[in-house]
Amino acid sequence: MNTFASLNGKSAIVTGGSRGIGRAIVTRLRQHNVSVLFTYVQAREEAEALCAETGALAINADAADPENAAMLVTHAIETFGQIDILVLNAGITRDRVIWKLLEADFDQVMATNLKSAFYLIREVAPHFRERQSGKIVTVSSINGLRGKGGQVAYATSKGGLIALTKSVARELGPKNVQVNAVAPGFIETDMTRAASQSVRDIALAETALGRLGQPQHVADAVLFLVSDLADHITGQVLQVDGGQLT
């Protein structure tokens, strides 16, 4: 029996879908017959390859621009007829201790990781309210829960994403819209492969399962949260960290 058969024929927007966790999310959703429109900014070749591989649609758009966010929601509705799922995955990092962190870098991280989520949720909320249905999942981080030295901008943006998730869950709950977050630990992606070996060793030592996570682990958590299995779950943060933060 296909546990996620309820996803068949639904449609989704996924931000930052061309690589890493986003790519795994797009792939998982397409495997369960969800029509997907995903965004990318720079990784054009990877985006085109993913479209060819999965049948998803890609659009070069930075949702940190409110006009792009509005265009993206309008385009998805025109293409699919409706939106059922919004996954806010786009994220960057500019790691510096606070006395070396440039304001421009802080602003860029906040715009990509947090403001883009705000813009897209604001745009899709009327559609979900009218239909009295919808699933929103934000991709945060355990560092948004605990803080992290050297990641002031990143951890702040991810903590803000959790607060945004919980607040919107309360606002949209009466209209049968579930809003949740996943908080990955150290996941093997292009972003984390740039980390030093000492950082990787610390993360591994923290992890109860004794192994680092893979993008598909996060994608599976997202798949659960956007399915009917999670219809009575909202305002929650699901840690996908192998016990890194316990």
Task: Mark 218-239 as b/e (b = at least 16 C-beta within 10 Å).
Answer: bbbbbbbbbbeebeeebbebbb
CB 101 within 8 A of CB 94: yes
17, 154, 172, 185: the catalytic one is 154
**Ordered alpha helix ranges (H), the chain:** 20-31, 44-54, 66-80, 103-110, 116-131, 143-146, 152-172, 190-193, 197-206, 215-226
CB 93 within 8 A of CB 191: yes
Q: How far apart are CA 2 and CA 170, in angstroms?
A: 31
For residue 21, CA distances in Å to 7, 8, 24, 187, 213 come to 20, 22, 5, 8, 11
Active-site annotation holds for 154: yes
Q: What is the DSSP letter of 151?
A: B
Pick from 126, 116, 110: nearest CA to 89? 116
Question: Which residues are catalytically annotated?
Answer: 154
